[in-house]
Structure formats: structure tokens, C-alpha cells
């Protein structure tokens, strides 16, 4: 199968994460679409939930282990509506920029068990890529055998696709420069770690964990753990700052930017 580029667009870059009702960060999305215009390889673009996903999920008690499954299930329509709106706005902006894509939502073909994927259909995505059309997918709400329903994060989707599709490149766009060796919000000496591999992963993971009091780094720990767990060994994922114009385009063209490269074990 054709070698794909797997690209995560972090929710804090493509939405105004603190705005309620949720709002698309339209200027960022337009710029990202322009940076992707020259890409010749097929792409699977995975959207984070940002304001559209997280606010609705939170209001129905996702993230709280004591929420009854009836309440989680009652939240499915609203979370799905928000993610459909987000993904279709992005598909539209991509198409205005000459990038043909279709949205394939995980909800329609995925089952989870206690938050882990137990079935996820790849065949439509593979067929779409083979047909020369790019795929947009996203973090989503999905039925979960134990909990009733659960949130599947975009990072878990990336990890799953990386296992199965042997991508040419895995790019994780966030609103920070990479993984820091301290908390950049309160430590002015914190620096971006250029590479995480078997030689430094334990040390770096413990530092990321120790600064997990803030949401961004807490999320980062899970992200790095997922990327390190991609099976097959030596699969490189790049965590970079998608809010800085030009960095995505440079990475697509194989040029260097400030970032963290994560090598799976
Ligand atoms: C969350 O996906 C999806 C939903 C809440 C429906 P992510 O966890 O990947 O989203 P971001 O990138 O952190 O916003």
C-alpha cells in the first residue's frame, strides 16, 4: 500500500480551546491547509477534539470514573455533533485549498473496552488512500464494552494507525515546541529534548511526569508513552509546534525544525 503521512492536528491549534460555544481557529486551519498544498504523498490527518470534543465530553462526566454509563451514553449525540462540525469545517477549508479529502469518523466502526481499541476498521481508510483521496479522521466518542461509552483520543488513533499502516512519516502538531526537560511555564531554563529513545526514555518520562500538574504536560506524558509503544521498533514520530507558521511545511519537506523526535522501542 502507498506510504502515507500521518499528521495529528492538536485540538488546541485548530480550535479556540477555552471558547464556549466551541469555535474553530480558522486562521490556523487556513494556514495549515496552505502549508499542506504541496504534499504529494497521501495523508491521514487526525484531528484532536479541542474545544469541540473536550467541553462536551466534560459536561457529560467523561474523565470522571464515577459517571454512570447512562450519562456517558447520553452525551454521545452532542460530542458527535461537535466533532462532525469540526471535521466538516476542516474538510471544507482543505477543499478550498485544493486538498481533496473525506472524513471517516472512528465512531462508526470502532469498539473500545475500558478505553482500549478492540475493533477499528481500516479497510475504508486504506481504500480511500489507494484511491488518491486524503483521509480526515479524529478523536471521537465510541461505544465501550465496560463503560458504555468512552473518549478515543486522536493520539490513540495515530498510534493505532502507525501500528497498522507503516507510515512514511508521523507528525504530531501541538501548541508547544516539543517535550521539555522541565516545565517551561515555571522554569525558564527548561529546554526542548531533541530526541527520546532507549538511551534516555526513562529519565525523560520521569521528568515529564513530575511536571504533570498542568494539563499540557499531563497530556504530553500520555502522548509520549503512546508514541514509544508503537510496535515494530525504531518508528520515529515528531512532536512539533504547529502554531508557528512554516514548521509543518519544513517537516513535510524533510527539513529540520525545533522539535522532539520520539523513537519507539
Ligand atoms: C479528544 O481527542 C477527542 C474528544 C474529546 C472527542 P484528543 O485528546 O486527541 O484532542 P486534543 O488534541 O487534546 O484536543
Assess contact for 33 and 96: CB atoms under 8 A. Answer: yes
Residue 10 Cβ contacting ligand 1 at under 6 Å:
yes
Q: Which residues contact 265 (CB under 8 A, 6 or more apart)?
A: 198, 201, 228, 229, 233
Q: What is the pLDDT of residue 216?
A: 33
Same domain, 49 and 139: yes
Which range is least confidently modeled, 172-181, 200-209, 237-246?
200-209
pLDDT recorded at residue 214: 32
Kindly state if the Cβ of 141 falls inside 6 Å of ligand 1. Answer: yes
Looking at the fold, whether 243 and 129 belong to one and the same domain comes out as no
Query: Domain of 244?
Result: 172-265
Same domain, 97 and 41: yes
Regarding whether 94 and 184 lie in a shared domain, the answer is no
Same domain, 125 and 144: yes
- The residue among 208, 191, 196 whose CA lies nearest residue 260 is 196
CA-based nearest residue to 147, from 237, 84, 66 = 66
Q: How far is the CA of 150 from the centre of ligand 1 (A)?
A: 12
Shared domain for 74 and 192, answered yes or no, is no
What's the CA gap between 219 and 142, in Å, rounded?
Answer: 20
Shared-domain flag, residues 162 and 233: no
Average pLDDT, the chain: 92
Query: Which range has the worst mean pLDDT, 43-57, 135-149, 183-197, 214-228?
Result: 214-228
Q: How many domains does the chain have?
A: 2
- Assess whether pLDDT exceeds 90 at residue 31: yes
Q: Model confidence at 139, in pLDDT bands (50, 70, 90)?
A: very high
8 A C-beta contact, residue 252 and residue 23: no
Find where cell 494556514 sits. Answer: 31
Do 151 and 187 share a domain, yes or no? Answer: no
pLDDT at 212: 39
Q: Is the peptide bond before 21 cis (omega within 30 degrees of 0)?
A: yes
pLDDT interval class at 182 (50, 70, 90): confident
φ, ψ (nearest 5 deg) of residue 23: -135, 140
Distance from residue 50's CA to the centre of ligand 1 (Å): 6
d(CA 140, CA 105): 7
Site to substitute for ligand 1 among 14, 29, 44, 54, most atoms within 8 A of C-beta:
54
Shared-domain flag, residues 243 and 162: no
Asked if 34 and 125 sit in the same domain, the reply is yes
Q: Name the nearest CA neighbour of 48 among 180, 151, 161, 196.
A: 151
Which triple of cell numbers denotes residue 2? 502507498
Per-residue confidence band for 194, with pLDDT thresholds at 50, 70 and 90: very high
Question: Does residue 216 sit in the same domain as residue 201?
Answer: yes
pLDDT of 136 higher than 50: yes
pLDDT bin (cut points 50, 70, 90) of residue 22 is very high
Query: What is the tally of helices (H) and strands (E) in the chain?
Result: 10, 12
Domain boundary among 167, 190, 216: 167
Choose one of 151, 167, 183: the last residue of a domain.
167
Residue 169 carries which DSSP code?
E
- pLDDT of 5: 96
Give CA–CA dist 138/214, Å, rounded.
24
Residue 234: predicted pLDDT: 82
Average pLDDT over residues 245-252: 97
Of 132, 167, 202, the position where a domain reaches its end is 167
Whether residue 213 is predicted with pLDDT greater than 60 in this model: the reply is no
More confident residue, 205 or 263: 263
The CATH number of whichever domain residue 148 belongs to comes to 3.40.1160.10
Establish whether residue 249 lines the binding site of ligand 1, counting it when its CB lies within 6 angstroms of any ligand atom: no
At 263, list the grid cell.
Answer: 523513537
pTM of the model: 0.95
Asked whether the predicted pLDDT for residue 186 surpasses 90, the reply is no
My answer on whether 214 and 103 are in the same domain is: no
pLDDT tens sequence across 77-127 = 999 999 999 999 999 999 999 999 999 999 999 999 999 999 999 999 999
Amino acid at each position: 500500500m502507498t506510504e502515507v503521512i500521518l499528521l495529528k492536528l492538536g485540538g488546541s491549534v485548530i480550535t479556540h480551546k477555552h471558547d464556549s460555544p466551541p469555535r474553530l481557529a480558522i486562521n490556523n486551519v487556513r494556514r495549515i491547509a496552505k502549508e499542506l498544498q504541496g504534499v504529494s504523498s497521501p495523508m491521514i490527518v487526525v484531528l484532536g477534539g479541542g474545544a469541540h470534543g473536550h467541553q462536551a465530553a466534560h459536561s457529560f462526566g467523561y474523565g470522571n470514573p464515577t459517571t454512570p454509563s447512562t450519562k456517558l451514553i447520553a452525551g454521545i449525540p452532542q460530542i458527535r455533533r461537535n466533532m462532525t462540525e469540526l471535521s466538516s469545517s476542516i474538510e471544507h477549508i482543505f477543499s478550498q485549498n485544493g486538498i481533496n479529502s473525506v472524513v471517516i469518523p472512528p465512531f462508526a466502526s470502532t469498539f473500545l473496552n475500558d478505553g482500549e481499541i478492540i475493533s477499528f476498521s481500516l479497510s475504508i481508510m486504506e481504500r480511500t488512500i489507494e484511491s488518491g483521496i486524503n483521509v480526515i479522521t479524529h478523536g471521537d466518542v465510541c461505544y465501550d464494552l465496560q463503560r458504555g461509552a468512552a473518549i478515543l483520543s486522536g493520539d490513540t488513533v495515530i498510534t493505532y494507525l502507525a501500528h497498522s499502516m507503516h507510515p512514511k512519516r508521523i507528525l504530531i502538531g501541538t501548541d508547544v515546541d516539543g517535550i521539555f526537560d522541565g516545565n517551561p511555564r515555571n522554569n525558564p531554563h527548561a529546554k526542548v529534548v531533541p530526541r527520546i529513545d532507549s538511551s534516555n526514555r526513562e529519565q525523560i518520562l520521569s521528568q515529564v511526569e513530575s511536571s504533570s500538574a498542568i494539563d499540557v504536560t499531563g497530556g504530553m506524558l500520555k502522548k509520549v508513552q503512546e508514541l514509544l509503544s508503537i510496535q515494530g521498533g525504531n518508528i520515529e514520530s515528531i512532536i512539533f509546534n504547529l502554531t508557528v507558521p512554516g514548521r509543518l511545511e519544513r517537516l513535510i519537506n524533510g527539513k529540520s525544525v525545533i522539535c522532539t523526535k520520539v523513537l519507539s522501542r
